Amino acid sequence: MFNTRLTGQELAFIAVSSSIWIAAQIALGPLIGRFSIGPVSMHGAVNHVIGWFLMVVTASLLGRFGMVSIMAIVASIGTRIIRVSTLEGMLVGLGYMCAGVLFDGLFFGLRLNTLKHQDPRLSCLIIFIAASSGMV
């Protein structure tokens, strides 16, 4: 049977991680959104990198399935207020939620939390998982 109760430390860590993600999107989005490489705006790329970093840190430190999903859901709800279009806000929020669930499934499905993190191949695999969840 899975333990579904959140401890105070887990809840606090999820709240801090989500707030970092939200603050980064609100603060860095308008600044970095001005820069683009051809048709690609840097706004989304920077926010995805921050999100991937927070997903890896949350999964590694908390070590429980579902923590990244909760963090992604909280961050997606918190960042919807900065979207101009309601449809865009819902689609981006849904993408963040799906990315969190996919990351949780890949990270804990492959049992990466039980392995030593000193192998360079393992680091490449974690980066691949983070990138593939960001493609969603």
Q: Say yes or no to pLDDT of 86 above 60.
A: yes
What mean pLDDT, rounded, does the chain reach? 78
pLDDT digits (tens, 9 = 90+) for 118-127: 666 666 777 7
To which residue do tokens 């929020």 refer?
Answer: 93
Amino acid at 59: A
3-state SS string for the chain: CCCCCCCHHHHHHHHHHHHHHHHHHHHHHHHHCCCEECCEEHHHHHHHHHHHHHHHHHHHHHCCCCHHHHHHHHHHHHHHHHCCCHHHHHHHHHHHHHHHHHHHHHHHHCCHHHCCCCCHHHHHHHHHHHHHHHCC
pLDDT in tens, 15-71: 999 999 888 888 877 777 677 777 766 666 777 788 888 888 898 888 888 899 999
The pLDDT value recorded for residue 88 is: 74
Q: Would 1 be classed as within a structural domain?
A: no
CB 82 within 8 A of CB 96: no
Range of the domain at 111: 8-134
Question: What does pTM read for this prediction?
Answer: 0.75
Please indicate, yes or no, if residue 23 is contained in any of the structural domains: yes
- 26-30, 76-80, 88-92, 109-113: the lowest-pLDDT one: 109-113
Whether residue 28 is contained in a domain is answered as yes
* pLDDT score recorded for residue 12: 93
> Given this model, what pLDDT does residue 103 score?
85
Q: Is residue 3 part of a domain?
A: no
Q: Is residue 121 part of a domain?
A: yes
Is 111 part of any domain?
yes
Residues in the chain: 136
2 falls within a domain: no
pLDDT confidence tier of residue 1, bands split at 50, 70 and 90: very low
User: How many domains does one find in the chain?
Assistant: 1
Task: Let me know if residue 112 belongs to a domain.
Answer: yes
